[in-house]
Amino acid sequence: MASFKELLKLSFKSEDTEEWLDVHFTRPIGLAFALFWNKLDVHPNVITIISIFLGVGAGVMFSYTDLMHNICGVLLLMFANFCDSTDGQMARITGKKTLIGRMLDGFAGDLWFVSIYLGIVFRLWDQPMPFLDTNWSFWGLVLCAVAGFLFHSDQSSLADYYRQIHLFFLLGKEGSELDNYKQQRDTYESLPKGDLLSRIFYFNYANYCKSQEKRTPEFQKFIVRWKQNPSEEIRQKFLEGSRPLMKYTNLLTFNTRAITIYVTCLLDCPWVYPLVELTVFQAMYMYMHSKHEALCAKL
């Protein structure tokens, strides 16, 4: 029987793509939870649903200005993240991977952050804007909507895409979830009309893949040519160029955002968080994108 340390190592996708905080904090706790829930024969999808309630609850807590509500928000979002780590690790340990699980997993994170952005909007509504003699009101909604829908979503989806690309070249198709629009669209069109749930998933997932592909024209040219002539030398050169960019894919996923939310809400300046999305995170996104495209064009 595998030890806890061996199971933990098996739950990592790769050393290149794992964050320090996840390796030393989130994943061990997630695995402990996974082993506990697995003994009780709880399905991973149930854990994902619990994470939705925890994450949405965090958004509600962040809508308050007092310290106790905000500490509760921090704890709820942390436990939502532990559950998110748990359901993936449980699915890998038990082999209980389902289409509904894939749908719930993506849906859960979206609901967390929609709730958090709405919580910030409600919190700011009657508060004065810094250095101005007017309240945030509608402008808080505009700020959070732009940060969330126009910036956050693009940053997260491209960071995830680059991570899956790296895993594909590092571990092969089996170690990656790198998919493409045509493949997912073909799956959608092959499904019977009555299979509504699967059709909804593959329709949305195909469009998600399409948005990633539209923003990476140089990579699309590169992957077509590499598949025609899969050179080991080029694969190694790609990994050498891609590896330094993995820190940006990590910074643009959950942990850095969560820490920024914790700090700004606890200090009662939640408007700083969407501004960080618009400036610091966007600068990292643009740098990561330009370097990756330049690497692919060069190779």
Distance, in Å, from the CA atom of 22 to the CA atom of 6, rounded to the nearest integer, reads 16
Distance, in Å, from the CA atom of 242 to the CA atom of 165, rounded to the nearest integer, reads 9
**What's the whole-model pTM score?**
0.90
Nearest residue to 213 (alpha-carbon basis) of 142, 269, 165, 151: 165
Identity (one letter) of the amino acid at 22?
Answer: D
Per-residue model confidence as pLDDT tens digits over 219-240: 999 999 999 999 999 999 999 9
Distance, in Å, from the CA atom of 256 to the CA atom of 243, rounded to the nearest integer, reads 19
Q: Give the position of tokens 């995830």.
A: 160
Distance, in Å, from the CA atom of 270 to the CA atom of 178, rounded to the nearest integer, reads 35
Nearest residue to 164 (alpha-carbon basis) of 255, 68, 245, 263: 245
pLDDT of the chain along its 299 residues, tens only?
A: 567 776 676 666 677 787 778 777 887 887 788 788 778 887 778 888 899 999 999 999 999 999 999 999 999 999 998 888 886 666 666 666 665 666 677 788 899 999 999 999 999 999 999 988 899 999 999 999 999 999 999 999 999 999 999 999 999 988 788 999 999 999 999 999 998 988 988 999 999 999 999 999 999 999 999 999 999 999 999 999 999 999 999 999 899 999 999 999 999 999 999 999 999 999 999 999 999 999 999 99
To the nearest 5 percent, what fractions of the chain are helix, strand and coil? 80, 0, 20
Phi, psi of 180 (to 5 degrees): -135, 160
Residues 80, 55: contact at Cβ < 8 Å? Answer: yes
Residue 114 CA from chain centroid, whole number: 13
